[in-house]
Structure 1
């Protein structure tokens, strides 16, 4: 379960709505009735969202989208860490986890026998919470552990996940943030009745079972945060910016002290206070009949009783009168952040102005920071963003230093862009371009149910949906903003009233960890099923017929000279996407990624680099050159009405870009700093370790230029690569509204195909290694946790095994209901995150790889490794879980719709595997024939009692390297060996 949904709310007002017509429209609240229910809606809302308020106060918001036979569902409550009691921070997040544990009706073998133990556990935690003596606390915890083991005999772990998986749900998750807790499911359209039956029961009377093992999962989540420099910076920024408001004074996951002293009684009180219909909403976006759905919701949730909610009343923060300077230390790369406290979401006018202001500074192409800092390579990178909450908004500038540059210099450059904006030294026409690009982004986002549902739910959290009309008109209102308004707003709010946060490299001497408690593994009762689960399974559901691709019918083909053209028509809207796809990448030419990156800094004989960015932004079109290892894809996208302009401009840029020695020198310097920063990032280090285990000392990850090679590259070499790129064999792909012949004619007008393609350079080959014996690859990193990856390479790709592998992965280690997750996390409380699966190759000549992962506290490393090894050697049998995994896979395939240009890329992926049909149909037909014995045999042949390479990243201060020898021969890899430079 996600702790914080950091990115989703940056532009949530903007991402809600589009105005597809050229003229501005009226957005007014209106009322209508259908199916016996009255609802409100906003005129000209392209989501056509219906807002219902049931008799008990429950809000229901429905948006129909018939694109796919699936529905994105969100059930949210307007309560998060803001509402935590001051002496029990992290409580809302604890509760989020516990709402996956079931009720009296499900999750229990025998509620009558389980309840006395749960009551005893609740009282013991209350005692524990009020006990301060260390010895006495240990004794109480021992009692908790003992009684929890007895209670767990009657618990059915993950029964909620089993029910959701069984009905074909995807993306089962939840998150808690400052003003919200939201529960997420993506369900098939035929599962509405099953879904509502489960959710109505889930929120009716939740039982807080398996609490002490779930606590340990939260401890692990906290420790992961303590290892995350970005998280530490985020929390310090908030606490400095909000010295009295709960935004800054109560972190979502809670303090270490409060995590150690949980109270089930306080959690129950929180639930009773905030999980009431007046404070909750059900949002559904997708393929359904709204008249039927609202009736079913009303019937199932009628038990909820209206109850007024006392909202958090925020203190008014005193103005910041001078910069507040803070520092954070940690092993990751350095950066600087400048954060301002701004008016909140309820101040609609300020929100609109701030959004436009942010885009003027940083929109990825033509903003002041984009052009003056990033394009001119004055910093490693920089940007601006907003984080909008009800009471206040956080506006921030951030940047990383390039080689030889201080963070103080980056800070001055960022503030310099603010001064330019405050003086009005920007082109007012940029506002129009911002609006056009917002419309383009929204047009693309409107197709997806999750975008719709998240935008609607965000409106409910911030203003109960009452300002949906202003959300709908937001982009139009952006277009009314004047330059004077922006300048006045900037001068009013953006002075010396900021928090300046330096993230510096160094040891964090204040770091603490949540210590490992003594936990005895508990029963998970895999084979058990409650009567409620059986009842849900028996609810009728009209089968959804799968829809397979027919490549010969679904893709039209043509030619431009010797280049193949693949075409799918866009019949939904006016967007186009054009691709040139080359069968070569960095394995064919190590300079290709450099050339692609260099292009953004180059001008031509007609345009400067800055002018090119502005031109593309003004016509709301995008281009990119993306080299992979064996495929390079050029993409151009936007509105069809600007297709000719975008294509002509891109072709001109590619053919006529001119070498710029100064730009290349600056880019090399930034690359040196970026490469050094990459070696500080634990995610990159683990990726490199894993590649080393899969391929050996020379692998795709460290296939990098040495410093000497990089220094030897010239600007002319890179522009030569760009100029000659169209001379190599490639496929032209078009998805858009134009007919095939018209599209071909339009491309031919600008895109020249040579009479004969150049010969593609030979590619490097990276062969996967054989694990002949156990080995440990270790690297030291200053962290609280230990991360372990298991790696073993298996046989060559065989399409006949696809169905078996898919079912094995789903059953064994692919999700929260899997054997691995149940055992490692639910039963043994050894990790927050864990998985194990067989990774399939993307080429017919490549091999499979077994990958497993556990991230745990350092003092639990031995237990975590032992627990995973037991599963890798012996796969437990659960016939019911196996059947659930089977039905889930079938539902996923039956309700999956591959559309748009996804059809073409599915075809190309199939070709790489040597297939000429949509292989999902064969997999679908085979799944019913696969038995558990087949899966066990596969597991025994590929995983059991086999040698593995253990990739272990940990702090030598917390893990004794001598202990690692238990698992195999130990090699401590240097960062140079891992990264190749």
Structure 2
């Protein structure tokens, strides 16, 4: 997987500062025979160890649930790729899932000669230029790979991780890093470390040519993603010298076509050494035991010098650099400034405060001057914080009748305000308070903890962790002068601007489909190593069931009830008003909810309301889903009364604003038009059409006439009367029940009796009687196919077998579908299948399957999936792994906080009064393959399906689609309802 996202650096651990002092001091301690360093008052209580071989180990204990987020990272990414083998680090990431001499092989001695032969053939292929000769060499590669695969056990790594209860098995490669990710049960530490130590000991690059094809498909997916193309174009222009911009993480098409296994091996030997790697774990464990075990398992690794990538400095920009990207998706603009890297602690600190002044969701310059006033469709700022350089990126989309240059002027205008210092310095205090709120929220997540720590290691900042820990405190010391000086120093005509235009991309070159013969996956095979790992003792974790009557308390508030769970961890609260009505009751509710953020009252302007909430580190939101409308007020409990009082005032006293409504309507029309340009939105609409027919939840939209006719008074009237409809109050926070109920009763005005909720429109799932194809034409490289079928009415007694079927058949890298479609036949990068349960009693199940492949593989991909849908292969070993995984997941799952209440509400909607996980758990050991096959044969096999296909009409043959069933080409109006 590639990590190509640009992330906003808001969490305290993701930046370091130059002001660590006072209470944040490095200390040294010894426990369990190991010395570690730590920073005083670190909320993560992270322990930093360096083993004798140079391996960094960083541990953060969090006892919230019996699970551990683990990351193993190396400081090697696309920066380190050889110039003639870009994409190599990413290839290697994929190959480190393929096993070693000890696992992934039936007989390594017999497999090895073929692996060596394949390596030599790829070396020959890499050096061959004649097309006919290349084809002949590839035919040899395919032939020998087929023989080698007879000795391989596909996905044995995933089988081991799934069997021990791991979740989120994945990895990603980016410019400076490759990181391997697992979320494991706390009782699986020994198993996990045994597998990982072996994984990095001596990896074998088996099943390479089918995995290579998966990377080809990943490349093609990127070619269909306009956002990724913009990102890569922006980096290339921003860094004309540095590998950040000059070496694509996934690699060029030319290099993808010419891989070299020897070069990949050299890369592994060079960078995957202990002094260049870190193991990070955050969760429920004994750190003394963990560090001792890591030392024992990874002590074999030998340190060696690693040549750090040292680029020539980038020359300053003397004028704006302008680029254009073309594609079918909506237009946008990005403006990027190149700034000092993450190791410049003072720059990182000032930049963190500066970007929060620009945008913080409520009271920033972009929030108030552009988004709140609806001067553009949207505007935002992001920071890309890398080791050598950072980048600040301003982004925007144009509203109707507006050009991208208009948006550009608006965005750059906010920088002019910064340079002049025309902002309130007191905003810094509010930024600090909100950063503290984010920090508290972030500590609840093991993933946040581990990711922040690993980020520091990758950017060589782990030694300065004290600066990261003190980041929030140090934000408050940043002065207005520092911000103004920074803006004037770095923000001039020295930017890169990328215009995303709508139009045909004439430069796309897809990776051509090679001739691949399906290979063996040996589902039933198990290595001796897997059996050894499975035999490692693990103390059972006892599952915890919810008892809704005990775990949720209630108290009367006026003529309704308040549901309550106490927050015993910190000083944060969340208060909900939950209405059993949504857009199916009134299509205008969603628009009214959006409208509220632009309205003022007799006391406050809209801008003042945003500032007030930001100043007290609290938030509110109003959202309307199909069947519910939910109001959420959240933040620091110390400001509970202020936040709730202010929201109640806003809701009761918001005033009609015709200008704001006109702007909102215009932006909504542009958003609706943009949605028609997005292939993901199109596919979602086609799938809804397949499930429900021409009138469905997706196209249940306001018509243009409806939209034109809505008045400001009508929407504000809906908002004013919202509390007069029956609703449930939910409180999660530190206050005792009686106090919380009294506070809510005091602040939340309720009517003497509730109004009757308007009747909801009903949507009924269709019954398929024959195969049919729903086709939507879109300019894209890949073809995406969804199978949709509707089944029987929900029956809770089926929950266990459905869960097992999904785990065995279509979910995860060890599933039958993934192994067959991707691992054996190399037909797709992404593929899955699932039998989906409804969320409401009396509703029907639905069956889904998906393949995304090159257009020239579509027929093979459809046949491959149909074969599986009609005839489920038997693998008792895979079934046992799925059962073990289910048990581990349930045993270690902890539904906590306000999640307890929402679990109850979801159960209630299904007609359940108890925690159904208990029923599922008790059924697992009783189920066998016959149960799964019976379910498959009854509900999946030889059923008619709606084939939802989004593809380019120029790349697929409609006659091929007609062989499946009658073809209906859907117009965008049919799909979207407007």
Report TM bin, short chain: over 0.9
Partner of 2:669: 672
Partner of 1:148: 145
SS in 1 for 2:140: helix
2:287 to 282, 286, 290: 290
1:452-531 to 2 correspondences below 5 Å: 452-531=449-528
**1:542-577 CA deviation, whole Å, 9 max, x = no partner?**
000001111111000111122111000011110000
SS in 1 for 2:462: coil
Q: Distance in 2 between matches of 1:880 and 1:243?
A: 52
Partner of 2:847: 850
Q: Distance in 1 between matches of 2:524 and 2:788?
A: 30
Q: Are the counterparts in 1 of residues 334 and 393 from structure 2 also a CA contact under 8 Å?
A: yes
Q: Are the counterparts in 2 of residues 17 and 47 from structure 1 also a CA contact under 8 Å?
A: no
Partner of 1:788: 785
- Classify 1:556/1:475 alpha carbon distance in 2 versus 1 (closer, same or farther; 3 Å): same
SS in 2 for 1:435: helix
1:201 to 193, 198, 204: 198
TM-score (norm 2): 0.99
- Classify 1:666/1:861 alpha carbon distance in 2 versus 1 (closer, same or farther; 3 Å): same
User: Structure 2: where are the runs of 5+ without partners?
Assistant: none
1:463 to partner: Cα distance: 1.3
**1:349-393 CA deviation, whole Å, 9 max, x = no partner?**
000111111110111111001000000000000011101000000
2:186 is equivalent to residue 189 of structure 1: yes
Q: Are the counterparts in 1 of residues 16 and 349 from structure 2 also a CA contact under 8 Å?
A: no
1:394 to partner: Cα distance: 1.1
1:805 to 793, 802, 812: 802
Q: Distance in 2 between matches of 1:718 and 1:795?
A: 40
- Classify 1:17/1:47 alpha carbon distance in 2 versus 1 (closer, same or farther; 3 Å): farther
Q: Distance in 1 between matches of 2:6 and 2:167?
A: 21
Q: Distance in 1 between matches of 2:758 and 2:262?
A: 68
SS in 2 for 1:317: coil
1:11 to partner: Cα distance: 3.6
2:437 is equivalent to residue 440 of structure 1: yes
SS in 2 for 1:40: strand
1:252 to partner: Cα distance: 0.4
**1:212-255 CA deviation, whole Å, 9 max, x = no partner?**
00000000000000000000000000000100100000010000
1:653-692 to 2 correspondences below 5 Å: 653-692=650-689
**1:412-450 CA deviation, whole Å, 9 max, x = no partner?**
111111101110000001111111111101101101100
Q: Are the counterparts in 2 of residues 277 and 305 from structure 1 also a CA contact under 8 Å?
A: yes
Q: Distance in 1 between matches of 2:504 and 2:693?
A: 32
Q: Distance in 2 between matches of 1:11 and 1:265?
A: 41
Partner of 1:10: 9
Q: Are the counterparts in 1 of residues 7 and 383 from structure 2 also a CA contact under 8 Å?
A: no
1:963 to partner: Cα distance: 1.5
User: Structure 1: where are the runs of 5+ without partners?
Assistant: none
Partner of 2:728: 731
- Classify 1:24/1:57 alpha carbon distance in 2 versus 1 (closer, same or farther; 3 Å): closer
Q: Distance in 2 between matches of 1:919 and 1:88?
A: 52
Q: Distance in 2 between matches of 1:315 and 1:906?
A: 55
Q: Distance in 1 between matches of 2:634 and 2:264?
A: 49
1:16 to partner: Cα distance: 7.7
Q: Are the counterparts in 2 of residues 14 and 438 from structure 1 also a CA contact under 8 Å?
A: no
Q: Are the counterparts in 2 of residues 5 and 175 from structure 1 also a CA contact under 8 Å?
A: no
Partner of 2:123: 126
Q: Distance in 2 between matches of 1:244 and 1:589?
A: 56
Q: Are the counterparts in 1 of residues 4 and 228 from structure 2 also a CA contact under 8 Å?
A: no
1:12 to partner: Cα distance: 5.2
Q: Are the counterparts in 1 of residues 11 and 442 from structure 2 also a CA contact under 8 Å?
A: no
Q: Distance in 1 between matches of 2:419 and 2:777?
A: 47
Q: Distance in 2 between matches of 1:770 and 1:280?
A: 55
1:15 to partner: Cα distance: 5.2
Partner of 1:876: 873
Partner of 2:755: 758
Partner of 2:338: 341
Partner of 2:386: 389
Partner of 2:350: 353
1:721 to partner: Cα distance: 0.6
TM-score (norm 1): 0.99
2:307 to 307, 310, 319: 310
1:899 to partner: Cα distance: 0.4
2:423 is equivalent to residue 423 of structure 1: no
Partner of 1:767: 764
- Classify 1:700/1:24 alpha carbon distance in 2 versus 1 (closer, same or farther; 3 Å): farther
1:10 to partner: Cα distance: 3.4
- Classify 1:16/1:913 alpha carbon distance in 2 versus 1 (closer, same or farther; 3 Å): farther
Q: Are the counterparts in 2 of residues 16 and 472 from structure 1 also a CA contact under 8 Å?
A: no
SS in 1 for 2:788: strand
The alignment yields a C-alpha RMSD, in angstroms, of 1.1
SS in 2 for 1:467: helix
Partner of 1:379: 376
Partner of 1:256: 253
Q: Distance in 2 between matches of 1:15 and 1:182?
A: 16
- Classify 1:642/1:98 alpha carbon distance in 2 versus 1 (closer, same or farther; 3 Å): same
Q: Distance in 2 between matches of 1:816 and 1:420?
A: 51
Q: Distance in 1 between matches of 2:956 and 2:567?
A: 56
1:115 to 112, 115, 119: 112
SS in 2 for 1:636: strand
Q: Are the counterparts in 2 of residues 176 and 252 from structure 1 also a CA contact under 8 Å?
A: yes
Partner of 1:591: 588
Q: Distance in 1 between matches of 2:619 and 2:824?
A: 49
1:607 to 604, 609, 615: 604
Q: Distance in 2 between matches of 1:11 and 1:374?
A: 20
Q: Distance in 1 between matches of 2:221 and 2:492?
A: 35
Q: Distance in 2 between matches of 1:25 and 1:910?
A: 50
Partner of 2:922: 925
1:749 to partner: Cα distance: 1.1
- Classify 1:385/1:422 alpha carbon distance in 2 versus 1 (closer, same or farther; 3 Å): same
Would you identify which runs of 4 or more consecutive aligned residues in structure 1 move more than 2 Å?
7-18
SS in 1 for 2:463: coil
1:652 to partner: Cα distance: 0.2
1:504-583 to 2 correspondences below 5 Å: 504-583=501-580
Q: Distance in 1 between matches of 2:61 and 2:664?
A: 48
Q: Distance in 1 between matches of 2:137 and 2:566?
A: 67
Q: Are the counterparts in 2 of residues 583 and 632 from structure 1 also a CA contact under 8 Å?
A: yes
1:626 to 619, 623, 643: 623
1:33 to 30, 35, 48: 30
Q: Distance in 2 between matches of 1:968 and 1:649?
A: 58
2:91 to 87, 91, 94: 94
Q: Are the counterparts in 2 of residues 25 and 44 from structure 1 also a CA contact under 8 Å?
A: no
2:800 is equivalent to residue 815 of structure 1: no
Q: Are the counterparts in 2 of residues 15 and 442 from structure 1 also a CA contact under 8 Å?
A: no
Q: Are the counterparts in 2 of residues 16 and 442 from structure 1 also a CA contact under 8 Å?
A: no
**1:253-290 CA deviation, whole Å, 9 max, x = no partner?**
00000000000000000000000001000000000000
1:162-173 to 2 correspondences below 5 Å: 162-173=159-170
Partner of 1:273: 270
- Classify 1:891/1:361 alpha carbon distance in 2 versus 1 (closer, same or farther; 3 Å): same
Q: Distance in 2 between matches of 1:818 and 1:871?
A: 11
1:17 to partner: Cα distance: 10
Q: Are the counterparts in 2 of residues 149 and 521 from structure 1 also a CA contact under 8 Å?
A: yes
Q: Distance in 1 between matches of 2:509 and 2:975?
A: 29
**1:652-691 CA deviation, whole Å, 9 max, x = no partner?**
0000000000000011111111100010000000000000
- Classify 1:790/1:824 alpha carbon distance in 2 versus 1 (closer, same or farther; 3 Å): same
SS in 2 for 1:451: helix
Q: Are the counterparts in 2 of residues 17 and 475 from structure 1 also a CA contact under 8 Å?
A: no
